[in-house]
Amino acid sequence: MIMNLFELTKNLMSIPSVSGDEEAVGFFLRDYLENLGWTVELQAVSENQNNVIAYLNETPRVFLSTHIDTVPPFIAPSEDDEKIYGRGACDAKGIIAAQIFAAENLRGEGVTDIGLLYTVEEETSSAGAKAANLHPLAAQCEYLINGEPTDNDLAIGSKGTFRLKILTEGKAAHSAYPEMGESALEKLLDILQDVRRARFPNDDFFGETTVNIGTIEGGVALNVIPPRAEAGIAVRLTTPRANIEAMLEEIVKTRGKIEVLSCSEPVKMLAVEGFNQKTVRFTTDIPYLTNWGQPLLLGPGSILVAHTKDEFVLKKDLETAVGLYASLVKKLLN
C-alpha cells in the first residue's frame, strides 16, 4: 500500500522501536521499499536488529540516512491540522518518511544514483552505524546526507560527546570515628568542584565546551564513612577529546581515576550554497560512518522537542524537507 507523507510518518511511528527493539520497523521498511521497487538489504547487527539499506543501482553516489530506533518510552502517534505528535515524530521517523519521498521524487525524474541507509541503536551505542561502516556500498558512496532534526537547516558542524566516569576510593569506618576512615565521597566532591571551576577550551567554529555532571553515586549508609564513589560526566566537545581528557587527568591527579565510557569527536560537515547553515550541539551517527563519503546533516523538526514527551513535527516542515533533500542530492550529483 502506497501512503502519503504523513501516513508513512504515522505508520513508522506506530511501530515501537526503542533502541534494541528495531526488528519490526526494519521489516516494515524493507517491505515498503521493496513494494516501491527498491533493492533492499537487511544488514544484521545482532540477532534481532537489522540496518535497512536500499538502492536503485549497484553504485549509488549519494545516500540519505538516519536511524530507526527511538528513545523510550513509546508514545503512539496523534495529529492535528498542523503537527504530528508522538515518539519519533522528528527523531527520526518523520525524517525517514521525508527521505523516502525525496528519493521517490528523484527516481521519478530518472535519478538512480541514490541509496537509503537506516541504522539501529543510534540513540545508545551507534552499533548500527559501526556495522554499516563495514558495508561494501560505503566505499562507492561519495556523500552521506544524514537526517536529524536541524529545523531544516544544513548543519555544518556538530559537537562531539565524551562520556566518562570519575571514580574515587576511600576507607570505610564507623562515622563516629572518621579519623579511622577516608571518605570517597568527599574526595569526589572536591574533584567535582575543581571540574566545575575549570575553564575548558572553546572553539570559534563549534562554540562552547560544556560539562554535565549527570550522576553521582556512592556510600553505603549514613553512619559509614563511604569507601567508594563515582560521578558520570558528559562533555560536549568542541575540541579534540585528547585536550579535555588531559585537563581532567590534571584535575583528578591521584585523587581518583577516570574511566572512559565512549567518545565521538566533533565533526565538520559539508557546507552547500543555498541552504541555511548552522552548527549543532548534539551528536549523530556521522562519526561512525566515516567510510560513506563526505557527511551532510539536515532534517525537519527541532532537537529541543526530540527525546521529550511532547515530541512533534510540523507537517509543513516534513513537506519542506522532501524538497530540500531532493535539491541537496541533485546539487551533490552535479
- Tell me the closest approach of the beta carbon of residue 148 to Zn ion, in angstroms: 5
Q: Which residue, 70 or 183, is less far from Zn ion as judged by CB?
A: 70
Given the rule CB under 5 A, which of 40-48, 127-135, 144-152, 239-247 is the region that contacts Zn ion?
A: 144-152
- Tell me the closest approach of the beta carbon of residue 302 to Zn ion, in angstroms: 12
Given the rule CB under 5 A, which of 132-140, 146-154, 311-319, 324-332 is the region that contacts Zn ion?
A: 146-154
Q: Which residue, 12 or 231, is less far from Zn ion as judged by CB?
A: 12
- Tell me the closest approach of the beta carbon of residue 120 to Zn ion, in angstroms: 12
- Residue 91, interface with Zn ion (CB under 5 A)? yes
Q: Which of 6, 16, 5, 27 is nearest to 76 (CA)?
A: 16
Long-range contacts at 186-190 (CB < 8 A, ≥ 24 apart): 187/229, 187/255, 187/256, 188/216, 188/218, 188/229, 188/230, 188/231, 188/256, 190/255
- Residue 95, interface with Zn ion (CB under 5 A)? no
- Tell me the closest approach of the beta carbon of residue 122 to Zn ion, in angstroms: 6
- Residue 230, interface with Zn ion (CB under 5 A)? no
Q: Which residue, 113 or 148, is less far from Zn ion as judged by CB?
A: 148
State yes or no: is 122 an active-site residue. yes
Q: Which residue, 145 or 231, is less far from Zn ion as judged by CB?
A: 145
- Residue 92, interface with Zn ion (CB under 5 A)? yes
Q: Taking CA 66 as the corner, what is the angle to CA 28 and CA 87, rounded to the nearest 5 degrees?
A: 65
DSSP codes joined into one string, 81-104 = SSEEESTTTTTTHHHHHHHHHHHH
Q: Which residue, 156 or 191, is less far from Zn ion as judged by CB?
A: 156
Residue found by looking up cell 579511622 in the block: 180
Q: Which of 147, 158, 152, 131 is nearest to 64 (CA)?
A: 147
Catalytic residue among 22, 122, 148, 230: 122
Q: What are phi and psi of 176, to 5 degrees?
A: -80, -15
Q: What are phi and psi of 57, to 5 degrees?
A: -135, 180
> Helix (H, G, I), strand (E, B), or coil: what is residue 160?
strand
- Residue 311, interface with Zn ion (CB under 5 A)? no
For Zn ion, the binding residues (CB under 5 A) are: 91-92, 148
Q: Catalytic residues, which ones?
A: 122
